[in-house]
Amino acid sequence: MIRRLLVKELTELRRDGRVLGSLAILLLLALGAGFSAWQQARVQHAAWHAASDGEHERWLGQEAKHPHSAAHYGVYAFRPPGPLAAFDPGLEPYLPVTVWMEAHRQNEALYRPAADTGAAGRFAALTPAAIFGALLPLLVLLLAAPLISGERERGTLRQLLAQGVPPQRIVVGKGLALAVLLVALLLPPWLLVCAVLLIGGADGDVLLRWTLLAVMGVLFLGGVALLCLLVSACCRQTRTALLLLLGIWATGTLLAPRVVMEWAEIRHPTPSALEFRQAIDAGLADGRLRDERIEARAESLLRQHGVDDLADLPVNFDAVRLQEGEEHGNRVFDAVFGRLHDGYLAQERWLQGAGWVAPFLAFTALSSGLAGSDLLHYRHFVDSAEAHRRMIQRAMNDAIYSQPETDGERFMAAPELWATIPPFEYQPLAIGDVMRFYGVGWAALLAWFVIPLLALLRVSRRLAP
Amino acid sequence: MKAPRFSRAVFLGEWRLLWRDPAAWVVLGVLTAALLGALWQGLAREQAVASSLAELAQADADRMEAAADLAQWLADTEGGISRFRDPRSADVVGRRLGVQHLALPPTALSALAVGQSDLYPAWHPVSLESRDRLQAEGELTHPRQLAVGRFDLSFVVVFVAPLLLLGLLASVPARERETGMLPWVVVQGGGLGSWLLGRVLLRWLLVLLPTLLCGVLAVLLQAMALAAAGDGQTVVRGLLWAAQVTGYLAFWAALALWVGTLPLDGARSALALAFAWLLFVVLIPAVTQVVLDLAHPQPSRMAYVDAMRDATDLARAEGSEALVRYLEDHPELAGDAVDADDFFAQRLLVQERVEAELAPLSAAFEAQRAARARQAAWLRLTSPALLTMDGLADAAGTGEPRHRHFMAQVHGFHSEWRAFFAPRVLSGERFLDHDRVPGFGYEQEPLRLLMPRSSWLLTATAGFTVLFGWLALRRWRSLPKVLGHV
């Protein structure tokens, strides 16, 4: 019975020119968006490789100099695009691409690509993820809205029920037809990307992310389809179902993200750049703890080496001062940058939480998270760069420490010292951490799948003709 | 059938019907809530910006005053201080103590549209630091906030208001035909055309008037808060904003009028309007972005930084020679205090060399950006939503052109700053000219630059309105047949 219903539904969908037309338009858009996103990711990867390699070569190519001069020369860390940014560039255009790692200071990251794209880039972005998250649900609602309400309007639902067809089977048949269409539409490109990733030598992490994206897509799109069927089953007229679903779509996709983010900012305000920089300056200016620690180290070293003057120490005490200065700065940067990023992530959690009300919000947060183009990955990049900066400073200060300048001559480190510093290689966040952060988003999507399913099963038992 | 004429009787009859229509009240309620929410957000945001700018200006003035006092005290007492913190050093003052934050002041209309102001900072610190640093620093905004856009009046106008208007017009006149009301309309006199025009016009006004009213309220409140009403541009900018809103909603009304003349039933008519909204507000802008990305890929900042580092290394390696060469050209600046190893002078010269090395790269980068911007300007012609979004931001003073105009002034002032400090840094003389340091005065973008831009955007939007109005008029003759009256 269900098989026959399924065949009938698929035949009707196939014969509907509007369905084929919509699919063709969507396919064209997806091709254009996919090609554009892939090209951008390719160009960004190439630029990232060239800049990162160039930076390490410059670091290694430094002449003999004092290690602190090298620390001031510093290194630029460049942020690679997320592992699946070609599918979902997420926040990539709005995240700075580089950070300068130098002595004494954790600098703010620089250069958001969006600042160079002009106003046109702010309006809308057509990416594969946007097509999947915003346009495909629109197609689903256009297809699903008349599925049951249309039968009711035409009077064929009454005929089917009169023939003794159980109402649940009618609903299941229509749901399956929709599912078959979506699987036929989405499975080939998903497998194609899998093949591209495998041929391109993608690691297990990337493949796992791509698989999880598929799972999330099934939950999201399945939830949307079930909701549409539910509305269709409850409405007497197709027009009512369509307008209701279009209203839900427009509210959830266009209005909700802006309103939620405004609200999130009210709850977790972002400091102004002035407040942020003043907090750093005030923290750095208060060096009491640093001075106490330097004094304690001086006393300890003098005692340890049995001398009365720092100049008589067999080590270079300047290095202690420099390193304590770094430690002092690190405490300030951890606190101030930590507050900023914690506030940002709290806003991201709001977005996920709002997924309970509008599933698109959970989708958009999760999709960028799995693609590695979200704020969580950005913070991980910033933290990794900062850890690298601190490692360089410690290595340079250690080199100074072992070279007391007793004869008044300044210590010049040989280029071999620069080679002890490895290149900055950013490793994306482990997938486990990503899943932990986005737990609420997953739960919201699951709820948006299960609740409409249960409601539809309940409604289908008493389907009114 | 004759072209429709405005009929007062029809208009008043429609007004009475609209008054009793619950859908109209729902639309009015939703629109008012959205407008007031956006207004409140806009005003709060602008207040925060204004307070930040005031704090920055005060901090600059306090820092400079403290530096001048300390310099005087050191001069009087001949006290000692590290040369890197000495307020009598031109480099220390020009680079750190005297740094000035140049502000792009909000206009009385900035609360109406965020535009690009959340991406481009409203202020830039100018010092002896390299010009490149001017573009690097910015305001802190959550990247997701930037990505999804702000909930401002522009968003309400461009996205929400057309949806509400189309919601009201979705089944006009199909509903009347389906409910058998059309014969009653005809016997009342005035003709179908006048009736349809009155119906559309009234609903257009229902959405337009609250929007304009909210705009006026926003300008009044913002002007009171900023005391910016007297800058001479508020009225013109306000009129341009109102014209953009009116033109944009007129386009949607014309489109609805045209769809109303098509032989469609209520559901199809509503779907056609929903699809038109999706096409002009979502799809076309998104597709133009893809076209732009493919035709004019955005220049890479990573490549820029890479080249900048190479240029810096080159200039730094030649730094000492550069100073000697410069002093050969400018012997009058070679005071007793200068030697070839002077750190400040060398740093300044290295910086100038880096900028000279980077100039072609910067020019190429800007050329690529400009080509993209030109293409984007043409592509705006594909959708009234794109035209209006830009037009609203431009009128409010939060668009890209006003920021570019401001940046040109920032660069000009940076050159002035450097011209003032560089000879003093190179001569190595003690700096006591704290009260002669250049000051910045922002010059408003002249209206003669704004007007042609806005007029062009308005004309293009009007072109769309005329097109659909003309299409509707062409179908006017067959209207009775379409509506099933004959």
CA distance A404 to A319: 9
Q: Tell me: the pLDDT tens digits for A275-324?
A: 898 899 999 988 888 889 999 998 998 898 888 888 888 888 888 999 99
Token digits for A2? 């269900």
CB spacing of B145 vs A254 below 8 angstroms:
no
A347: nearest CA partner in chain B: B142
Mean pLDDT, chain A, as a whole number?
89
CA distance A177 to A200: 35
CA distance A12 to A156: 14
A138 contacts in chain B (CB < 8 Å): 278
Q: In this structure, how many other beta carbons lie within 10 angstroms of the beta carbon of residue B211?
A: 24
CA distance A361 to A356: 9
A258 touches chain B (CB under 8 A): yes
B62 contacts in chain A (CB < 8 Å): none
What average pLDDT does the segment A386-404 reach? 92
Q: In this structure, how many other beta carbons lie within 10 angstroms of the beta carbon of residue A256?
A: 21
* DSSP 8-state secondary structure symbol assigned to residue A64: S
How much is the pLDDT for B341?
Answer: 46
A107: nearest CA partner in chain B: B137
The number of CA neighbours under 13 Å toward the Cβ of B461 is: 28
Confidence at A64, pLDDT banded by 50, 70, 90: confident
Phi/psi for B348 (5° steps) reads -65, -45
How much is the pLDDT for B330?
Answer: 53
How much is the pLDDT for B47?
Answer: 87
B55, B56, B301 member nearest A97 (Cβ): B301
Among A123, A236, A258, pick the best mutation site for testing chain B contact (most B Cβ within 10 A). Answer: A123
How much is the pLDDT for A38?
Answer: 84
The alpha-helical segments, DSSP class H, found in A354-422 are 359-371, 375-401, 416-419
How much is the pLDDT for B1?
Answer: 52
| B395 and B244 Cβ atoms separated by less than 8 Å | yes
Residues 6+ apart with CB under 8 A from B173: B182, B192, B195, B196, B199, B260, B483
B324 touches chain A (CB under 8 A): no
B138, B143, B365 member nearest A273 (Cβ): B138
A162 touches chain B (CB under 8 A): no
A438-449 exposure pattern, b = at least 16 Cβ within 10 A, e = fewer: bebbbebbebbb
| B485 and B183 Cβ atoms separated by less than 8 Å | yes
CA distance B484 to A277: 70
Among A36, A40, A122, pick the best mutation site for testing chain B contact (most B Cβ within 10 A). Answer: A122
CA distance B286 to A120: 9
A36 contacts in chain B (CB < 8 Å): 290, 293-294
Which one-letter amino acid corresponds to residue B302? Answer: M
B116 touches chain A (CB under 8 A): yes
How much is the pLDDT for B329?
Answer: 55
CB spacing of A118 vs B140 below 8 angstroms:
no
How much is the pLDDT for B231?
Answer: 66
Phi/psi for B205 (5° steps) reads -65, -35
Determine the 3-state secondary structure of B87 from DSSP.
coil
How much is the pLDDT for B356?
Answer: 83
| B414 and B281 Cβ atoms separated by less than 8 Å | no
Q: CA angle, B262 as apex, B260 and B268 as ends, to 5°?
A: 80
Q: Give the CA distances from residue A55 to residues A50, A259, A361, A406, in Å, rounded to whole numbers and listed in that order.
A: 8, 42, 38, 34
How much is the pLDDT for B2?
Answer: 55
| Residue A77: strand pairing partners | A99
A239 touches chain B (CB under 8 A): yes
A97: nearest CA partner in chain B: B302
Residues 6+ apart with CB under 8 A from B300: A43, A44, A47
Point out the least confidently predicted range of A84-98, A143-157, A362-376.
Answer: A143-157
pLDDT at A50 > cutoff 90: yes
A31 touches chain B (CB under 8 A): no
User: How many percent of chain A have pLDDT more than 90?
Assistant: 46
What is the DSSP track for B115-168? TTTTTS-SEEEESSS-THHHHH------HHHHHH----HHHIIIIIHHHHHHHH
CA distance A120 to B300: 18
CA distance B262 to B228: 49
Distance from CA of B400 to the nearest CA of A (A): 7
A120, A237, A351 member nearest B289 (Cβ): A120
B53 touches chain A (CB under 8 A): no
How much is the pLDDT for B300?
Answer: 83
Among B148, B291, B375, B453, pick the best mutation site for testing chain A contact (most A Cβ within 10 A). Answer: B148
B164: nearest CA partner in chain A: A247
Which of A10, A431, A433 is closest to A204 using CA atoms? Answer: A431
- Look up the ipTM and state it: 0.89
B292 contacts in chain A (CB < 8 Å): 120-121
| Ranges of each domain in chain A | 2-117+125-461
Determine the 3-state secondary structure of B455 from DSSP.
helix
CB spacing of A78 vs B146 below 8 angstroms:
no
Distance from CA of B380 to the nearest CA of A (A): 8
| Residue A420: strand pairing partners | none
How much is the pLDDT for B286?
Answer: 87
Among B117, B119, B144, pick the best mutation site for testing chain A contact (most A Cβ within 10 A). Answer: B144
A116, A138, A274 member nearest B55 (Cβ): A274
| B231 and B224 Cβ atoms separated by less than 8 Å | no
B148, B267, B289 member nearest A239 (Cβ): B267
CA distance A289 to A329: 11
Sites in chain B below the pLDDT cut of 70: 1-7, 10, 132-138, 171, 182-183, 185-191, 226-231, 319-341, 477-486
Q: Distance from CA of residue B125 to its chain's centroid?
A: 21
Point out the least confidently predicted range of A123-137, A393-407, A451-465, B263-277.
Answer: B263-277
How much is the pLDDT for B486?
Answer: 41
A78: nearest CA partner in chain B: B302
Q: Give the CA distances from residue B402 to residues A66, A262, B49, B110, B116, in Å, rounded to whole numbers and listed in that order.
A: 47, 25, 17, 12, 10
| Residue A65: strand pairing partners | A413
How much is the pLDDT for A376?
Answer: 95
Distance from CA of A116 to the nearest CA of B (A): 7
CA distance B206 to B209: 6
Q: Tell me: the pLDDT tens digits for B320-378?
A: 555 555 555 555 545 555 554 477 887 788 788 888 888 888 888 888 888 888 888 89
Interface of B with A in 178-217 (CB under 8 A): none
The number of CA neighbours under 13 Å toward the Cβ of B407 is: 15
